[in-house]
Structure 1
């Protein structure tokens, strides 16, 4: 029996940008020669964790960088504006930001994850999220927002999963502050500015105290 693929996740000192904790996907359903998974990418000691659904929605199967689909460009523009992203489009440098997916494994074109495959990847996502230990979780889209609200807050039952209403709001969680983000491809004219303003407001205050506050409120 091989080593537990979750073991490296306990190590939070690394300068690796892609897959900093050495995660290995538990299954490979990608076409031959394709990338089996899009691993977490960015600053492993970040305070902000951007969370997407899967590579078929938000991209990365070609370059290994989460959120590289063309439809996500409005979001990437906000990240650059507030200082989270620098470098080139294909090889971005994320500062104080880590990006990953609820479902990191790639699938053949046109296929979507099953409930079983989401469940298979649950512990991998949770292990990486806790290893990063960010203060602010930013789920993008309905699937990721549902997963984050269910797993890391006590408020999922009190909230309608209406992304237009939840977009760029602040929700206290169990040790985290959650800022849901609507799918960038669906943004109205004001939603890019709303997210930029929200992130700048958080960055402008002592957000590092969020974890202590959220633990008692969430």
Structure 2
């Protein structure tokens, strides 16, 4: 983790009492901003907080989906704590969402995702990762639309899971929903990502040495 970083939780001090989406203010427990290493090469983006993340305030924690996801990070050497830890010790990884508040009965609307977009854009700009990992179909569509030259409709998570897509300024490595991934697809993602980590993935941007 960056030596000057004081906290992994919402390290950029984003508005923890955001009221921009009135319909979500009544249903959420908290605003769930990004978490992790601000010097990370790898930035993972999900759709919106689950019930577990809404309780813990940390993306991809607090429930079975979170444990499955954190187990993957652990096997990649990006999480030094147990998968069940609500405050994972992420190194070289940052986790966040398209939308920051949970509605228990529906996914975020396009308008709510658009309202939260400045938060995500700021995190990506300040972290300047090498690899963006959209987690799930919705995150893939939104990230592909913003950071590739192709139409977002060209990408389906079942087809591009565990592949590398060249984007504008970043490479994208899509990941299927960790809770519903088969063991075979989980191993495929791990194999692909470990192979990516073994090569010089920084070569396209000339990043600082770590």
- 3-state SS of 1:37 partner: coil
Match in the other structure for 1:9: none
Aligned 1:191-202 pairs, distance under 5 A:
191-202=185-196
- 3-state SS of 1:92 partner: coil
Per the TM alignment, residue 26 of structure 1 is displaced from its structure 2 partner at its CA by: 4.5
Q: Which of 4, 10, 28 is 1:19 aligned to?
A: 10
- 3-state SS of 1:74 partner: helix
Q: 1:87 to 1:188 in 2, by over 3 A?
A: closer
Task: Report the TM-score, using the length of structure 1 for normalisation.
Answer: 0.82
Counterpart CA distance in 2 for 1:26 and 1:171 is 35
Per the TM alignment, residue 199 of structure 1 is displaced from its structure 2 partner at its CA by: 1.4
Q: Which runs of 4+ in 1 moved over 4 A?
A: none
- Structure 1: give runs of 5+ residues left out of the alignment: 1-12, 213-218
Q: Indicate the RMSD between aligned Cα atoms, in angstroms.
A: 2.0
For the pair 1:67 / 2:60, whether they are aligned, the reply is yes
Counterpart CA distance in 2 for 1:14 and 1:173 is 28
Counterpart CA distance in 2 for 1:72 and 1:20 is 20
Greater mean deviation of Cα atoms: 81-90 or 135-144:
81-90
Match in the other structure for 2:70: 76
Q: Which of 86, 99, 120 is 2:115 aligned to?
A: 120
Match in the other structure for 1:145: 140
Match in the other structure for 2:161: 167
CA contact (8 A) 1:42 1:98 kept: yes
For the pair 1:203 / 2:197, whether they are aligned, the reply is yes
Match in the other structure for 2:106: 111
- Structure 2: give runs of 5+ residues left out of the alignment: none
